[in-house]
């Protein structure tokens, strides 16, 4: 467990210093852990666990948009689990549930074998159509069609800077819309 967490910390340090591949690897590595914790928390609250993927995506967006609050001298896992717990509680509250979330729902859930994505998420997908067309196109191109920033820029006759701005705004506004739900 500690080796995994140390590896996360080094990956996040690399990510902060600009290594996007390390960041990608880190997010992929933490996702099964977040998924297991989300399922455990939902089950404890008596909620259907098929909502777990929405919770996972919610957590990932928060991790992304709040990563500047991580102190690079501190271990990454406690920060990650604090964000995850907060989003799980928030998501249960939005569903009208006021429940106690066990502190260790996430920390205990570092699984031996990866938990696969079974149910699919629907909340972010539902908000996609409310984005301005330009932001939606850019997000679609990068997320769904796996196009690079550069290719996306060429495809829509935009500068790479404009693509980056549109992508970031799309992610930030998705997060805001999920909160307003």
Partner 1 sequence: MSMETEQLIRSLAADNTHRARPVGFVLALGLLVAAPLSLAMFVLWLGVRPDVMAAMHNPFFDLKFVVTLALAVAAMALSLHLSRPEVSLKGWWWLLLIPLGILAAEIAGEMMVPQSLPMMVRLIGSNSRICLTAIPLMSLPLLAGALVALRHGATTRPAAAGAVAGLLSAGLAATLYASHCTDDSPLFVATWYPIAIGLVAAIGALAGSKVLRF
Question: Nearer Cβ to partner 1, position 102 or 140?
Answer: 140
Radius of gyration of the chain (CA): 17
Return the number of other C-beta atoms located less than 10 Å from residue 99's C-beta: 16
Question: Nearer Cβ to partner 1, position 45 or 83?
Answer: 83
Return the number of other C-beta atoms located less than 10 Å from residue 116's C-beta: 7
In the list 42, 45, 70, 107, the residue contacting partner 1 (rule: CB under 8 A) is 70
Q: Is 27 in the site for partner 1 (CB under 8 A)?
A: yes
Q: How far is the CB of 89 from partner 1 (least distance, A)?
A: 9
Annotate each residue in 143-172 with x if it binds partner 1 (CB under 8 A) or - if it does not, as one string: xx-x-xx--------------x--xx-xx-
In the list 4, 103, 104, 117, the residue contacting partner 1 (rule: CB under 8 A) is 117
- Asked if 93 contacts 25 with a C-beta cutoff of 8 angstroms, the reply is no
Q: Is 73 in the site for partner 1 (CB under 8 A)?
A: no
CA 33 and chain centroid, separation: 12
Annotate each residue in 77-106 with x if it binds partner 1 (CB under 8 A) or - if it does not, as one string: -xx-xxx-xx---x----------------
Question: Nearer Cβ to partner 1, position 158 or 170?
Answer: 170
Q: Of 130, 124, 161, 160, nearest to 143 (Cα)?
A: 124
Q: How far apart are CA 159 and CA 168, in angstroms?
A: 14
Q: How far apart are CA 94 and CA 79, in angstroms?
A: 23
Q: Is 28 in the site for partner 1 (CB under 8 A)?
A: yes
Tally the C-alpha atoms within 13 A of residue 92's C-alpha that lie toward its C-beta: 23
Q: How far apart are CA 51 and CA 39, in angstroms?
A: 8
Residues that bind partner 1 (CB under 8 A): 15, 18-21, 23-24, 27-28, 31, 53, 56-57, 60-62, 64-71, 74, 78-79, 81-83, 85-86, 90, 117, 120-121, 124-125, 128-129, 139-140, 142-144, 146, 148-149, 164, 167-168, 170-171, 179
């Amino acid at each position: 467990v500690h080796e995994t967490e140390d590896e996360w910390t080094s990956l996040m340090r690399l990510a902060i210093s600009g290594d996007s591949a390390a960041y990608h690897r880190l997010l992929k590595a933490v996702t099964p852990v977040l998924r297991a914790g989300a399922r455990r928390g939902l089950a404890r609250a008596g909620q259907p666990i098929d909502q777990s993927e929405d919770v996972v995506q919610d957590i990932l967006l928060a991790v992304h948009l709040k990563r500047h609050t991580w102190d690079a001298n501190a271990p990454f896992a406690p920060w990650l689990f604090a964000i995850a717990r907060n989003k799980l509680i928030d998501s249960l509250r939005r569903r009208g549930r006021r429940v106690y979330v066990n502190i260790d729902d996430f920390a205990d859930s570092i699984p031996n074998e990866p938990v696969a994505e079974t149910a699919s998420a629907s909340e972010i997908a539902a908000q996609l159509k409310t984005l301005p067309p330009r932001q939606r196109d850019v997000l679609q191109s990068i997320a769904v069609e796996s196009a690079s920033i550069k290719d996306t820029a060429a495809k829509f006759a935009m500068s790479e800077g404009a693509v980056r701005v549109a992508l970031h705004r799309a992610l930030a506004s998705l997060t805001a819309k999920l909160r307003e739900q």
